[in-house]
Structure 1
Amino acid sequence: MATPKFGLAFCLLGRAEAVLLARGAGFDFAVIDMEHGPLGMSELGQAAAAGIAAGLPVFGRVTGPGSPDIARVLDCGASGVIVPHVDSASDACRIAEACRFAPRGTRALPGPLPALDYRVVPAAELTEKAEKGIKVIAMIESAAALAAVEDIAAVPGIDMLMIGSNDLADGIGRRGQLDHPDVAAAFARIAAAATGNGCAFGVMGLPQALLKSHALELGASHIVATNETNLIAEGGAALLRQMRG
């Protein structure tokens, strides 16, 4: 089994330096989270460019399958796009088509790209190199998504299923109960659907105590360890408890 990659998500700190911060700490990739906070495409573009220069993949999380920014995240240099709330195979098809050039999809031809150092190249070369290595990641985080997960994983052009741990538990009626057997069974089903269809499997929002059972033993290749907000708030609180005795 390959060694999993661990990532750090950014919800508030959107400067390009954040990418170097993640790399310096030893993370394998970074996520710019545009779903729940103030960060937007401007911050994503700067972080993605810094990631290219620093050799650290940067993924952008958009707001959902209807986001107008799905392909734009890739145009701005991200190594992949994370799409939450993918509840059906039709959602997955729409995402995959938006990220792939014709004849596989409907992605519009962009101008010079940061991934190619903004060099002007023939359209055929641009499309070939722009698609190479990108990851289109569908988040599974609802009862509807769980019921359709095998069909979602089978959609051509979907590269990874990633579980939104807390939302998935909430969606199947086990809010805050990530250690419940129903949640463990859901994780196992999603991991099996991914591997059975040639997709990678990832997790986000998983507490460290469940890392082995809910991720590593299921073959997770990408684990978003935490976000910078939790890291500072929780780490700062722990430090102050120690210093205050």
Structure 2
Amino acid sequence: MKLIILLIFLISFIAESLIGKRFEPGYGVDETEGKNIARWGTVLILLFFIPGLFIFDIENNDVMKWMSISFFFTILGFQSLIEWKYLEGKKYLYSLSVMVISVITIFVSSLIYEQLTHTTFGEEMTELLSEDEQINEIKIVWFVMDNKEGYSSSSVSITDKDTISKLVEEPSEMELIKSNNVVPELDDGIIDIEINTDKSRYYITFTKGHANIGRHEYKIDKENKFLKILENEELDWKENNL
């Protein structure tokens, strides 16, 4: 999504450089008495938005979308106002058009991006398992990091059909975001899962905010429902010697 927004920014800048200056009156604000207002206004807008890149979670699609829309609306809206006040002709209408097109493009691109990258645990499990495939056993190894003792781990083997069904079905609405740049959070450890069916064997890895299902990486949006079930379910955990 960040690359898409950067591309939109570059296209807007190039369009302004190549096309915008051809509009009447054929010169820019920097050649009028409004040049200082335009420069200082632009600087203040940049100083307002740049810290947001470090304060807010720009990896979040919604945050990036609304920050970008706000930036284009503000910077191009300000430019249009200055052009309307200090330039003759209709140059300000061009800047307004670029602003509207940029905002709409970002919004639509964000919707398409969400459709392509957002999924659920249930949808991915449906892709992983065939319709007639039966799960016979789920093996779980939970690694936990201790600052003093290093890693410790516990494991459990689940064959009870009701428990298996609960582990697979209850987190089905858990929202996932496809990503190749996920940095796992290890606060609650690493959960390695082996699913044995009547046809094959599958592996899933969970951390608090990350999932690896099959060969795909996902960021967990909001709550890790699978982790919550494990924490609340009474399972026969056995400590392992590492």
Pick the TM interval, shorter chain.
Answer: under 0.3
Q: Which has the higher strand share?
A: 2
Q: Which has the higher helix share?
A: 2
| TM-score after normalising by structure 1 | 0.24
Larger Rg: 1 or 2? 2
| TM-score after normalising by structure 2 | 0.24
